[in-house]
Amino acid sequence: MKKLLIPFVTLFLFVFTSHSQMVMVVSEVETTDVSAYGDILNRWMSSVKKVTGKEDIGSRVHQVDGSRELIATRFFGSLQEMADTRKNEKEKEEQIVEEFRSMPGQLEGSWDQFLSSTDFKNSSVWEFVSEGSTVPKSWESMSQEERDQLLYRRVQYFSVDLMQGDAFEAWWKKVSEADAKIGINYHVAMFKSVFGGNDADYMIILIDKSRFDYYNNFEERMKKRMESEEFKAMMSDSDTSKWSVIKESNWIRLPKMTH
């Protein structure tokens, strides 16, 4: 059980409770058996929900396309809420473990397989930047069924020079506004690193139905941009030398591991 909790325990030692933006906890996991990981995760999260009385605890799992790596995310309304939730779940840990063990189905074989096939690599905390994001506004008109079809995430990690965070956010917002002027609408979430981002200061997540849909829509966006003299002039006048993309990744959300 401790192995399952390690990524969440260490993160809360670095909480700064003065922030009020939504935060995302990211745990990077490598597994040779996705099914075993899913069995234990679903059992544990279901136990947490039952004991705490919460129907949605903001937990999602993604698989990095073409790899054995899983990305487990959990969302909280703020860093304060994250700390309070962690404290509450810690206080109720004995009840959660009891519920976990008493759930129907054979545990011993699944637990052993989980331990032998799962390796937690890294954990990080990211704060949502609403002014650099189009979500949740971009999907307000969508039904829940339509939102559930958005399983693909194109993830870009940016390194930004010291003291250039505000400039980067202002530039990204300017690009988003220029996109909107020429009729480009898509789902984007910006996050900035609070802890554990390694060399990445910002994470940009572009959301679509599939990798195929993303690239098709990307081509359409670039076509509109290149046809807009105003957009090209804005980009030409922008100084982007203080930041760069240092990593890109493709995540596929696994709906059966949603809690």
Average pLDDT over residues 133-158: 95
Residue 246 Cα distances to 158, 216, 242, angstroms? 6, 23, 13
Cα–Cα distance, 204 to 118 (Å, whole number) = 27
142 phi and psi, to 5 degrees? -90, 145
* Residue located via tokens 């490598």: 30
Domain boundaries, the chain: 2-125, 130-250
Average pLDDT over residues 167-194: 95
Position with higher pLDDT, 12 vs 4: 4
How confident is the prediction for the chain on average, in pLDDT? 90
Cα–Cα distance, 75 to 128 (Å, whole number) = 10
Cα–Cα distance, 238 to 208 (Å, whole number) = 27
Residue 101 Cα distances to 46, 50, 252, angstroms? 12, 13, 30
Side chain identity at 123, as an amino acid letter? S
What's the confidence (pLDDT) of residue 11?
41
Cα–Cα distance, 74 to 69 (Å, whole number) = 17
Q: Residue 133 CB: number of other CB atoms within 10 A?
A: 20
Q: What is the pTM of this model?
A: 0.89
Q: What is the pLDDT of residues 45-84, one digit of tens each?
A: 999 999 999 999 999 999 999 999 999 999 999 999 999 9
130-250: what CATH class? alpha beta
> In this prediction, what percent of the chain has a pLDDT beyond 90?
83
Q: Which CATH number fits domain 2-125: 3.60.20.10, 3.60.20.30, 3.30.70.100, 3.40.630.10?
A: 3.30.70.100
Is 130-250 in the same CATH topology as 2-125? yes
